[in-house]
A and B are shown apart, each in its own frame.
Chain A
Amino acid sequence: MHRMSGSGARKRPRAKLIVVEGIDGSGKSIQLHLLDKWLRHLGVLVFNTAWKPSAIMKEVTPKRRRRDLLTPPTLSLLHATDFADRYEREIRPLLRAGYFVLADGYVYEAYATDAVRGCHPRWVRRVYSFAARPDAVFYYDVPVEVGVERALTGRQRLNFYEAGTDLNLSNDEYESYRIFQSRIIEQYKAMASKERFVVMDGTMDMGLQQRRMREYVLGLLPPKLATIASKELNVS
């Protein structure tokens, strides 16, 4: 494993960092959940981490009024603070200890959303240069309408920043959300080949998606375990 910038960060050879990326409603979380079940069944040490506001962020963001909005660089750095906290506390030590770390959203989510908010792409990448490079990044590609419809089903209200409301993209909250998500998709697509994303068709049958994911992850398992897992996969 190496850091995003290429300088060395050590981890146990058997430790792996597997990331899923995609917009809300892309189905990435459920795929990661299913992968987690499979890895646990195989007896692999697994740890789950998600790109969501932790203690620091919660202390700063709620109850904020429109007039004292968090501006893009502030928001970007608060996300980075949260990530660094999670990284130093969980991700790095667990990789050192030999775990399979499953990350629901990683630095790529920051690259995409921060760029949409107008932060300099090179700056954002340098801020996150301390993060270990994943062994696999699965990108769940869905048309924006599919993602938005899935994400909004059963939800009462949109989170202000999650929905990109701070960007004033539209007076309509839902239209604003749709535009924001479509811009994030553009960002993901632009970085897909450079960051070596494994692009998954998020509209495909979920079982088939999971099978493809597991086939890919076979290559990351220790050889003996991979043989057993491969047999199981072909029987089922």
Chain B
Amino acid sequence: MSSPRTAMAARPIEFFGDGISYLKGREVKGRLIVVEGPDGSGRSTQVGLITAKLESDGHAVVTTGLRKSELMSNSILEAKQSLPLGKRTLTLLYAADCANQLMHKVIPALEAGCIVLADRYIYTLMARSTVRGLPRRWSRDLFGFTIKPDLVFYLDVDPRELFHRVFQKYSGLDYFESGSDLGLSDDLYISFVRYQRMMMKEFRIMGREYGLVPIDANRSVVQVQGDLQRRIDGYLHGRA
């Protein structure tokens, strides 16, 4: 039995860095669980399965992700297409969207005692920013206003395996996810693999810094899900 036996304890809101002064001292009861990983790592599938499992266990779950905010999902996409936005501008635009979701969705849900499942969070944004040459310190500071998650998983897939999965799923490569804006190589396969390696390296660095839990996602969906469920259950019942 893994259904919630006791209500989760309330604790003061904890920020990733320098927070929002006027929220200091507010209490949250829920938990924030993040699943990071590149496109094709099975991330969204896993988030869907975790949601179903947690709900069947009786937890109220709210899911969130990058680009899911009503406020700006359109403008981010449009801005990417119409204006050649600078890398710093784009990082800030994503941060603004993140702030909007945090204030309107994540914090209220945590206050209400929900488990918030994030399909990617600030770590992807920070890695993208660093890989594109912006100082690590700057993006760490920038995302200081966000809520510190309780658990962060990183779905680790070999870039060559990832390439096949992405091609099979979308029958093509995403411009940004293959690092095309970085001019790494004219050969899209090489560009993709190099870009994904650079991202993985950033995730390894952040993993040590922030305690991200790496999950071997070269395995089947069922195996990965079993692994994730065991760890989440362990955490929620104090066996982490």
Contact = CB atoms under 8 A, between A and B. Distances in A.
B78 A59 contact: yes
Contacts of B21: 118-120
Contact of B83 (A55, A73, A130): A55
Interface in B44-98: 71-72, 75, 78-79, 83, 85-86, 88-89, 92-93, 95-96
Contacts of B138: 126, 129-130
Interface stretch (B29-37, B100-108, B153-161, B188-196): B100-108
Contact of A60 (B23, B71, B89, B95): B71
A72 interface: yes
Contacts of A118: 20-23
Contacts of A120: 18-21, 144-145
Interface string A92-124: 000000000000000000000000001110110
Interface size class of A (residues with CB under 8 A): 20 to 34
A72 B17 CA distance: 17
Given A85-B89, A119-B21, A129-B141, A71 B75 contact: no
Interface string A37-64: 0000000000000000001100110000
Chain B contact residues, majority secondary structure: helix
Contact of B75 (A59, A80, A127): A59
B99 interface: yes
B23 to A, nearest CB: 8
Nearest to B93: A81
B103 A71 contact: yes
Chain A facing B: main interface SS:
helix
Contacts of B89: 56, 81, 84-85, 88
A145 to B, nearest CB: 27
A55 B75 CA distance: 10
B73 to A, nearest CB: 11
Contacts of A119: 20-21, 145
Contacts of B85: 85
B173 interface: no
Contacts of B144: 120, 123, 126
Contacts of A72: 20, 22
Interface string B135-169: 00010011011000000000000000000000000
A225 interface: no
A78 interface: yes
A224 interface: no
Interface in B1-36: 17-23
B117 to A, nearest CB: 22
B22 A74 contact: no
Contacts of B92: 77, 80-81, 84, 127
Q: Which of B96, B100, B138 has the most CB of A within 10 A?
A: B96
Interface of A: 55-56, 59-60, 68, 70-74, 76-78, 80-81, 84-85, 87-89, 118-120, 122-123, 126-127, 129-130
Interface of B: 17-23, 71-72, 75, 78-79, 83, 85-86, 88-89, 92-93, 95-96, 99-100, 102-104, 138, 141-142, 144-145
30 contacts: A56-B89, A59-B78, A60-B72, A71-B99, A72-B22, A73-B20, A73-B103, A74-B71, A74-B99, A74-B103, A77-B99, A80-B92, A81-B89, A81-B95, A84-B88, A84-B89, A85-B83, A85-B85, A85-B89, A87-B88, A88-B86, A89-B86, A118-B20, A118-B21, A119-B20, A120-B18, A120-B145, A123-B141, A123-B145, A126-B141
Given A85-B83, A118-B21, A122-B18, 15 more contacts: A56-B75, A59-B78, A68-B104, A72-B22, A73-B20, A74-B96, A74-B99, A74-B103, A77-B99, A80-B92, A84-B86, A88-B88, A118-B23, A123-B17, A127-B141
